[in-house]
Amino acid sequence: MPHASDILREDHRKVKELFRLFENTKDPQEQKAIAHNAILELDIHSRLEEEIFYPAVRRMGGREDEVEEMMDEAEEEHHVVELLSRELMGMQPENPDFAAKFTVLSENVKHHIEEEESEMLPQADQLDPQKLEELGAQMQQRKQQLLTATAGQTKRPAARSASRSGSTRTRASGAHRSRTGKPAA
């Protein structure tokens, strides 16, 4: 069974490949399809991190201030990606700003991935291997739920809102909602 960090690294590889595909095509409709796929992947990935991985790392982490700061920054980066994703989903691919906005999204995500893979994941890999496997199982199960919930539906990032209380982030009740407006599973 893969560890939690292995699942995240695999997601990183997938989305970086989508960014590469986007860069290598000039057809607006193909770009739109690739962007939609990337946004869906990013939404699911972010939800796995925010719902399962980040809280577990916060609980298990060593140097508390450093871990809190790292998690807070990662969640803020997710927020920026969510904003850009929503804007992209409302744009037509022929819009001259579409490719530029997607490029900004990809650059932000690549930076986020680099930080996670050079700082957060190596630190997480030092935690209890059994706990990492348990997290991996939880993440795989949640990912399957999210993929099933989005199958055949318009690929739009789920709206999420966050409020900050001190150094602890909490999600507003009902903030994770499915595309039908009902709370996500």
pLDDT at position 180: 36
Q: Return d(Cα 25, Cα 14) in angstroms, integer.
A: 17
pLDDT at position 160: 44
CA angle 9, 14, 20 (to 5 degrees): 125
pLDDT at position 62: 59
pLDDT at position 32: 95
pLDDT at position 69: 87
Overall residue count recorded for the chain in this entry: 185
Boundaries of every domain in the chain: 4-171
pLDDT at position 167: 37
pLDDT at position 168: 38
In angstroms, how far is CA 165 from the centroid of its own chain? 22
> Which tokens in the block code for residue 59?
């609980």
pLDDT at position 57: 85
Query: Which of 57, 63, 45 lies closest to 7, judged by CA?
Result: 45
pLDDT at position 178: 36
The enclosing H or E element of 165 equals strand 162-165
Q: Return d(Cα 150, Cα 144) in angstroms, integer.
A: 10
Radius of gyration of the chain (CA): 16
Full-model pTM: 0.80
Asked whether the CA dihedral 71, 147, 85, 163 is positive or negative, the reply is: negative
Q: Are 102 and 88 in contact (CB under 8 A)?
A: yes
Per residue of the chain (185 residues), what is the pLDDT tens digit? 788 999 999 999 999 999 999 999 999 999 999 999 999 999 999 999 999 999 988 887 656 677 788 889 999 999 999 999 999 999 999 998 999 999 999 999 999 999 999 988 988 888 888 989 999 999 999 999 999 998 765 444 444 444 333 333 333 333 333 333 333 33
Residue in this structure with the two tokens 């150094």, named with its chain if needed: 167
> Which tokens in the block code for residue 118?
């050079």
